Each structure stands twice: as C-alpha cells, then as structure tokens.
Amino acid sequence: MSVLPASAPASAGPTSRIVVDDVRMQFVLRHNRSLKELAMAAVRGKDLGNTFMALDGVSLNVDSGETVALLGHNGSGKSTLLKLISGVMHPTSGSVRLRGRIAGLIEVGAGFHPDLTGRENVYLNGAILGMDEAAIRARFDDIVAFSEIERFIDTEVKHYSSGMFLRLAFSVAVHTDPEIFLIDEILSVGDEPFQRKCLDRIRELKDEGRTLVVVSHDLNMVSDLCSRGVVLQHGNQVFDGSAADAVAHLRSL
Amino acid sequence: MSARDLTAQPWTEPGRGSGLLDVVRRRYLLKLLVRKELRVRYRGSVLGLAWSYVKPGVQYVVYFLALGIFLQQSRNIEDFPVYLFSGLVVVNVFTEAFGNATRAVVWNAPLVKKIFLPRELFPVASVWVAGVHFVPQLVVLLVGALLSGWRLEVLPVLGAVLATLIIAALATGLGLLFGSLNVVFRDMENFVDLTNMVVVWLSPVLYRWDQVTQVVPAWVGVLYQLNPITVAVELYHYAFWWPGTRDTPATALPPDLLVNSLVAVVIAAAVLVVGQLVFRRVEGRFAIDL
Ligand SMILES: Nc1ncnc2c1ncn2[C@@H]1O[C@H](COP(=O)(O)OP(=O)(O)OP(=O)(O)O)[C@@H](O)[C@H]1O
Ligand SMILES: [Mg+2]
C-alpha cells in the first residue's frame, strides 16, 4: 500500500510494528439527515446527546513478530480498533502509526463479487490486497490448491456454497505478503479440516515472523495461537498481558 | 522468531494516501475494477456490450426525427446528422461518467468499509467504463463523418483530443466531488441525474450556438459559451463536422473557440483539484456512514 511517510510515534521502540496512541473513536448514533432535522440541529446547536465512544483512550504497542489476541464482548470495539489500524477509518483523536505493509482481513471475501468467476475473483482480490499481476500469477496455483476447489474455479462465485466461497477468499488472503495481518473473526470459516488447515497456515505466517492481530470469540483457539492478549470492555482497554491471562480476565468480566 | 530491529523502516499513517496519484500507481487494480464493472453491468445479458451501440442509436434516431425533421433543424444546420451525433457522443460520455462516478463509492460500500484502498479508484474506474462505451460511438461517428466528406486534418483532431481531455477531467472532478458528498447526503445522486437531464440542452447539440446567443442577454451568452461542455461539443463539431461542411455559411463555428478552449481547460483542471480536495476531506466519513 502506498502511504505517505508519517512522523514517528513517541512511544515506539526499535522493534515496534504498530503503535496505537491514546485513540478515541466517536460515532454519531442517529444521523440527522432530513432537511427538517438538519434545520432543527442548526437552530439548536449541534446535538451532542446521541454520540457514542466506541473506543475511549486505547493505546497499544505491538512488536514485530508478536501475535496479539484482541478480546472482548460484542460491541466492545474490537472491529473498530482493527479498522483504525488498517486505515479504513481514522480516529476521532489520537494516532495510529505502522511500519510495513498491512493486510486487513476485516472480513473474508469483502472484495469478492458474486458475478465473477472464482478465477477472476482471485485476481481482483489479490490486487485489492496489494499484490501485482506477476505475484498473483505466481501464486495462483497455490491459492487454488489451498482452497481445494479446483473444479469450480471457473464457475461464478454466486454458485458456490458458502463454505467454498470462504475457502477461496481465505486462501487469497493468506497468500498475500504483508508484514502485518489483521484477522477479524475469520477462523470460524469452513469445515473442521479446513479450519485446521487455516490455523496451520496462520501458524506458518507467525513463524515467518509476521505480526498478527487476531480477533476471535474462540477463546481456546486464541490462547493457543497468540502470545499476548488485550481485553476491551465498552471501548476501554481493561487488560494487556499474556493470552492465557487475558482469556481468564475476559471470562471473569 | 525474535523481534527484528525495524529502525530503518519508515513510519506510515494507515489510511492516508496520495489520492489520484495512488490510482496511477495501482493501475492494475484499476484495470480489474473496470473489467468487473463492465462484467457486472452486462451480467446475464445477451447483447452485452452491444447495448452501448443500441442505446445511443435509439436516442440519436429520436432526436434526429424530432428535431432534425419535425422541427426542421436540418434546414438550419448543414449536414445535421453529423452535427447532431458529434455533439451527442460528447454529452453521452460526460453524463454516463458523471452519473456513475457519483454512485461509485456507494456501490462499492462493502470494499470501502472493510479494506483500505485509494478510494479515488472507484470514481475513476466509472469514468473509465464510460470511456469504454464511448469508443464504439466514436467509431460510428468517424464512419458517418467520412461518408459526409470528412478528411483527416491535424488541428481538428487535436481539438477532439483536447475536448476529450476536458470532458475526462471535468467528469472525474465532478464525480469525486459529488461521489464523496453522496456518501453523506444521498440526495446528490438525484441532483446529478437532474443535471444530466439538462446537460444536452445547455450546449449546442440539438441546435446551433447562435440560436442561443441571439435571444439571451450578452452576459448569459458569454456564460453559455464558457461552459466546458459547450466548448467540448464545439471542438467535436470542429473535429468531425466542420471539415466536411466548411464551405457553406451556415457552418460557422463560434468565433472565440480557441480562447474558450483555454478557459475550459482551466475550469476543468480547477474542478478536478476541487473535487480531489473535497473527496479527501469527506473520505474520513466513508467507512462510518456507509
Ligand atoms: N459506523 C458506525 N456508526 C455508529 N456506530 C458504530 C459504527 N461502527 C461501530 N459502531 C458501534 O461501535 C461499537 C463497537 O463496535 P465493534 O464493531 O467495534 O464491536 P466488536 O467488538 O467488533 O463486536 P463483535 O464482537 O460483535 O464483533 C458498537 O456499539 C457499534 O454499534
Ligand atoms: Mg466485530
């Protein structure tokens, strides 16, 4: 991803990959959109009553090669934090800084289009995730082999079963070459054997020294996979420590 | 694996790119997005891309009958069939590019919300798709012009190239402007549809420029002439219609075409810059509002 160079964050160490510094994210819950409502809002001054802090002062420093589990109950702000790290959203205040290329797997298959064939989707998604044509071509066979859907690769994706769709999408994602992977809830894809394959592949990425931030509600799996755990509660960071302790903390909430 | 020392790697801020420049850098992705849009547009369609001949064809016949024959414009304007078509192709490519670019970000909401990409890619891809539909029309225009005595000359062809660039910049700039605002206020796409409906009447496509300037106050006439789409239409007349008809008095092009062209270039460039600036301003809201 071509991004402009930015100032170095204050709290960075020599091995820091991701530095999230005192980030707040505020959402407006109800949008004043109709002309009448807009006029009312203008007359009365901005209505601040219906804003909501999805993240309230979160700081995080992830080192290169670390595997961090982001835990928390529904609506605690995990996906929002990943979106801020991937650049899909910008924080209301605070800052996010990265070193290295990033692939945000906020949702598998986000860039897939049902009317394109599997093959076309592999190329399109490879390009979306930052690969160039040569790289996709070189990895195409691996991607298809990993997904195990060779026979259907020239079928339109809308005719895939949902598991097949997720297999192909996941397969493209884990064959890209970023230093940082953000993974949101995607390990629950596919059937049992494919899940195991995905986990093996993610362990491989980890062993290659890539940095992983993983969101999942499968607590046993994350405590096994990750070395570090961060727990969010109502947008506040309430725990940061070993993954096993983080899981214990979350269970006690 | 132990952590590596990364001191040499530069820090970046996620989600901050360099706008249209990034589109140039990621042209392979642009190409695939254009292909996707074309594919999706004609899914399950037997005629496919042939629709891009049929639609302007029907529109052309209607205008030709209603204006050329019933309202007798073909008596006022020499070689009316070529005159009409050379103006229509310009308006068609502009309205398609502008309308689709305005909707591009909203159409691609799943991507915009989940993966960071230079979002300018989406409006630019829409403009490009309009360009793909434009090429066959241009070929038809060229054939029609040849049949009416058109011959290749350098200056008129340069005029057509300039007009095409003006239209591309204008549609991209307006598409960035309204496409980004459309995320926040969906009213924009209706407004743009409305604008697109009147564009064909606000430029000398169905009539001659002096039929307007004769009846409006002088300053309105000046504004009318400075409309970049009017300029592009007249440049297309100059490129495809005038070479075959110049010997007759009724073919006079507007006298200030060169100056107007320069003004149009400046306007189109300014619109592009403003569109990009507004787009970057509003972009922060995309993932939140979509
Ligand atoms: N675009 C948005 N506009 C308004 N509110 C939002 C928006 N995105 C998220 N929120 C709110 O922010 C809060 C955190 O959402 P988020 O998706 O980060 O939760 P999460 O921790 O990922 O939950 P889950 O475990 O269910 O995936 C929620 O209350 C949600 O309603
Ligand atoms: Mg979530």
Query: Which residue CA neighbors atom 1 of ligand 1 most closely?
Result: B288
Q: Which two tokens stand for residue B258?
A: 């060169």
Chain B contact for A41 (CB, 8 A cutoff):
no
Q: Percent of chain B at pLDDT above 70?
A: 97
A230 vs A78: CA distance, rounded Å: 10
Interface test with A, best of B2, B7, B23, B29 (most A CBs within 10 A): B29
pLDDT given at position A163: 86
pLDDT given at position B80: 93
Residue B68 main-chain phi, psi, to 5 deg: -70, -45
Question: Residue B75: which residues within 8 A CB-CB, separation 6 or more?
Answer: none
CB contact under 8 A, B11 and A100: no
B205 vs B54: CA distance, rounded Å: 20
The mean pLDDT of B109-135, rounded to a whole number, is 94
Better pLDDT: B152 or B270: B270
Q: Which of residues 26-45 of B touch A (CB under 8 A)?
A: 26, 28-29, 32-33, 35-36, 39-40, 43
**Which residue of B lies nearest to A94 if distances are taken between CA atoms?**
B13
**Ligand 1 pocket by C-beta < 6 Å: which residues?**
A 27, 54, 72, 74-80; B 288
Give the β-pairing of A180-184 and A16-28: unpaired
pLDDT given at position B212: 92
pLDDT given at position A46: 60
Give the β-pairing of A102-105 and A180-184: parallel
Considering only the beta carbons, identify the residue of A14, A66, A102 that sits closest to B5.
A14
Write the pLDDT tens digit of every residue in B233-273: 999 999 999 988 877 666 678 888 999 999 999 999 999 99
Better pLDDT: A47 or B214: B214
pLDDT given at position B66: 95
What are the extents of the domains in chain A? Answer: 16-100+216-252
Ligand closest in space to the Cα of A72? 1
Reading chain A (253 residues) residue by residue, the pLDDT tens digits are 445 677 888 778 888 999 999 999 999 876 666 677 777 777 776 655 578 899 999 999 999 999 999 999 999 999 999 999 999 999 999 999 999 888 876 677 788 898 999 999 999 999 998 899 999 999 999 999 999 999 999 999 999 998 888 889 889 988 988 899 998 876 666 788 888 888 899 899 999 999 999 998 889 888 999 999 999 999 999 999 999 999 999 999 8
A197-205's contacts with Cβ under 8 Å and 24+ in sequence apart are A197/A146, A198/A170, A198/A174, A199/A225, A201/A146, A201/A174, A202/A174, A205/A174, A205/A181
Chain B contact for A14 (CB, 8 A cutoff):
yes
The mean pLDDT of B83-109, rounded to a whole number, is 96
A152 vs A160: CA distance, rounded Å: 8
Cα B214 to chain centroid, rounded:
28
Question: Residue B267: which residues within 8 A CB-CB, separation 6 or more?
Answer: B170, B226, B228
The H-assigned helical ranges of A148-217 are 162-174, 192-207
Q: Which of A1, A136, A82, A127 is nearest to B118 (CA)?
A: A1
Better pLDDT: B185 or A186: B185
Considering only the beta carbons, identify the residue of B11, B29, B113 that sits closest to A88.
B113
B35 vs B99: CA distance, rounded Å: 18
Residue A120, classed as helix, strand or coil, is helix
Distance from the A237 Cα atom to the nearest Cα atom in chain B, whole angstroms:
21
Residues B278 and B18: beta-carbon distance below 8 Å: no
- Type and span of the H or E element at A104: strand A102-105
- DSSP-assigned states of every residue in chain B: -PPPP-TTSPPB-TT---THHHHHHTHHHHHHHHHHHHHHHTTT-SSGGGHHHHHHHHHHHHHIIIIIIIS-HHHHSTTHHHHHHHHHHHHHHHHHHHHHHHHHHHHTHHHHHHS---TTHHHHHHHHHHHHHHHHHHHHHHHHHHHTT----HHHHHHHHHHHHHHHHHHHHHHHHHHHHHHH-THHHHHHHHHHHHHTTTTTTSS-HHHHHTTS-HHHHHHHHH-HHHHHHHHHIIIIIHHHHTTSGGGPPPTTHHHHHHHHHHHHHHHHHHHHHHHHHHHTTHHHH-
Write the pLDDT tens digit of every residue in A30-65: 666 667 777 777 777 665 557 889 999 999 999 999
Would you say residue B1 has pLDDT above 50? no
- CATH homologous superfamily for A16-100+216-252? P-loop containing nucleotide triphosphate hydrolases (3.40.50.300)
Chain A contact for B288 (CB, 8 A cutoff):
yes
Ligand closest in space to the Cα of A83? 1
The predicted complex's ipTM stands at: 0.90
Degrees, nearest 5: CA angle B174-B175-B179: 120
pLDDT given at position B45: 82
A–B CB contacts, 8 A cutoff, strictly below: 139
Better pLDDT: B182 or B48: B182
Q: Which of B173, B169, B159, B146 is nearest to B233 (CA)?
A: B159
pTM score, whole prediction:
0.93
Cα B8 to chain centroid, rounded:
45
Residues B152 and B240: beta-carbon distance below 8 Å: no
Q: How far is the CA of B74 from the centre of ligand 2 (A)?
A: 64
Ligand 1 atom at minimal distance to the Cα of residue B287: 1
pLDDT given at position A2: 46
pLDDT given at position A246: 95
The mean pLDDT of B168-176, rounded to a whole number, is 98
What are the extents of the domains in chain B? Answer: 49-289
pLDDT given at position A89: 93
CB contact under 8 A, A104 and B5: no
pLDDT-based confidence at residue B3 (cuts at 50, 70, 90): low
Q: Taking all residues of chain B, what is their mean pLDDT, rounded to a whole number?
A: 92
Ligand 1 atom at minimal distance to the Cα of residue A29: 4
pLDDT-based confidence at residue B44 (cuts at 50, 70, 90): confident
Residues B28 and A127: beta-carbon distance below 8 Å: yes
